[in-house]
Amino acid sequence: MAPINTVLILLGVVCVIGFVGSSWIETIRHAGPQPGTPGDRLTREELELNLEVAIENRLIDAAPLDIPIRNRQFAYSESIPEELDQLRKESHRYRRRHNFFQLLIIVGSIANAGAQAFSDTAQPLKSIIIGLTMLVAICAGITGYYKFRERSFNLQQTADSIEEHANAFHLALPPYDSADPAANLALLTARVETLRVEQRRREQQLDQPPEAREPAV
């Protein structure tokens, strides 16, 4: 049992290190270096984060004020580019995680098949086969539980839909071809907010068990 335990421990450590490392790298890329570090300038990611925080603070400060609805809708439309960027970043992060585990599944399956071809010649290969089988099963379980591919697809789909409406609004294309700019702005706000609500509902459905997502017959 000692060789089996060693192989399982090594494969588990490699899987955990790869997952944590990919998440850490993504966090560093998104957040950038800490502000105030001597000799470091503000990176593009840090500037985008500061801009996003400033926009959120502006919306929060304007909420209790008696600001006309059109001004609030205009401020909402200004936050659309930041919303698109955030959705696409999250979509890419989930896609990278899905590809990482799929790569482990593919490599583990191929290595497992190759080791089984020589399983009758050496006892250590049987331990490797067991370890590879466990690795493939763990990776398949993680991808099935967290649904990285589905989350990435939903985020990208929402971003594309919001971008389509934003482009149609700026180019005065249907349904934003009304002679009243206020009506076009109100329609854009309603459509984008509907897409965001649908995205949140899809995320909640992914977190529910399959029997809760399926309608009762």
Tens-level pLDDT at each residue, the chain (217 residues): 445 555 556 566 666 666 666 555 554 444 444 444 444 566 766 676 677 677 667 666 655 656 677 877 888 888 899 899 999 999 999 999 999 999 989 988 888 887 777 656 566 677 777 888 888 898 899 999 999 999 999 999 999 999 999 999 999 999 999 999 999 999 999 999 999 999 999 999 988 876 665 543 3
Burial class (CB in 10 A: 0-12, 13-18, 19+), 147: middle
Give the C-alpha separation, 207 to 197, whole Å.
Answer: 16
pLDDT at 80: 92
For tokens 């909420």, the residue is: 63
Long-range contacts of 199-202 (CB under 8 A, 24+ apart): 199/87, 199/154, 199/155, 199/158, 202/154
What is the three-class DSSP state of 180? coil
Q: Tell which phi-psi region holds residue 37, choosing left (phi > 0), alpha (psi between -120 and 50) or beta.
A: beta
* Contact yes or no for 94/151 (Cβ under 8 A): yes
Give the C-alpha separation, 152 to 27, whole Å.
Answer: 17
pLDDT at 65: 58
pLDDT at 1: 47
